[in-house]
Amino acid sequence: MNLLAFDTSTETLSIGVSRSQAGQERVWHHSGAGGAQASATLIPQALALLGQAGLALRELDAVVFGCGPGSFTGLRTACSVAQGLAYGAGVPVLPVDTLLAVAEEARHVGGATDLLALLDARMDEVYSADYRFSDGRWRQGGDFRLTPPQDIRVTPGQVLAGNAFAAYGARLPAGVRQIEALPTASALLRLAPGLLAEGQAVAPGLALPRYIRDKVAKTTQERADERLAAALRPTE
C-alpha cells in the first residue's frame, strides 16, 4: 500500500512512507526531535520522504497518524497535519491509537504478544492499556487508563512495553520483563493495512485526537490554586 504515517505523541518525531511497486513494498523512515520542534519539521520531512519514494500525496491510500494518548501539543499537531494533507489530496485519514502502536513495536522488536503498553503521561502518571496478539491481529483488553505508576498491575505472563521505565522504573511492577518501545511510524505502517481493511479510515474532517487527560489546563490551574491556598493558610 502507499501510505504516509507519522507520530508526534512523544518527544520523538517518527515519520514513515511505504510504497507498493511491482509487487514489492519499500519503506522510507525519518526520526528526529519531537515536542515543540515537531510542528516546524513534520510537514517538510514528510514531503521529503514522499519525494524520496516518488509519491505524490494524491497517490496515497491513506494518511496515518498516532492519535493518542500522548502529548496534547503533539496530538494536535499530528491530527491537524494529517487532516490538511489528506484533505488537499482527497485521501482518507487513519487515526491509530498510540498504545496500540507501542504494542506493535514491542512485538516487532521483542516478540511480545501479551503485554501492558505504557506511555509517560507526565504529571507523575502513565497511560496504559492491555493488548494480546493472536490470529494475526491485536486485541485490546479493557479501556485506556491514566494512573500513577505505582498503581500499574500486570497479569501473569504479561510484558511491560513503552517509554516509562527511565522515569518510573522503580515504581513499576518488579520482576516483569520490560521492552523499550515507542509508537513509531514503522509500527503504524505495519498496523495500517489491517485497520484499513476493517474500515477504520475516516474522512479528514472526522479525524480527532484521543485525549485521555482532557482537562490539563484546568488541572494545572487547580494545582496553582492549591499552592496559593497552602501559602495563605495560617500556620500554627
Per-residue pLDDT reduced to its tens digit, 117-157: 999 999 999 999 999 999 999 999 999 999 999 999 999 99
- Mean pLDDT for all residues in the chain: 92
What proportion of the chain, given as a percentage, has pLDDT over 90?
85
pTM above 0.85, yes or no: yes
Instruction: Cell numbers for 75, please give them.
Output: 496530538
CA distances from 116 to 99, 111, 160, 185 (A): 9, 14, 5, 20
pLDDT score for 214: 61
CA gap 172, 222 in Å, rounded: 27
pLDDT score for 37: 82
Per-residue pLDDT reduced to its tens digit, 3-49: 999 999 999 999 999 999 888 999 999 999 987 788 899 999 999 99
Mean pLDDT to the nearest integer, 204-228? 68
pLDDT score for 178: 98
Q: Which CATH number fits domain 3-219: 3.40.390.10, 2.130.10.10, 3.40.50.1980, 3.30.420.40?
A: 3.30.420.40
- Confidence check: pLDDT of 226 > 60: no
Domain ranges of the chain: 3-219
Cis peptide before 44 (omega within 30 of 0): no
Q: Give residue 216's pLDDT band: very low, low, confident or very high (50, 70, 90).
A: very low
CA distances from 211 to 66, 141, 162 (A): 12, 19, 18
Per-residue pLDDT reduced to its tens digit, 67-90: 999 999 999 999 999 999 999 999
pLDDT score for 221: 55
Per-residue pLDDT reduced to its tens digit, 97-112: 999 999 999 999 999 9
Beta bridge partners of 93: 63, 202
- Confidence check: pLDDT of 55 > 50: yes
CA gap 151, 191 in Å, rounded: 29
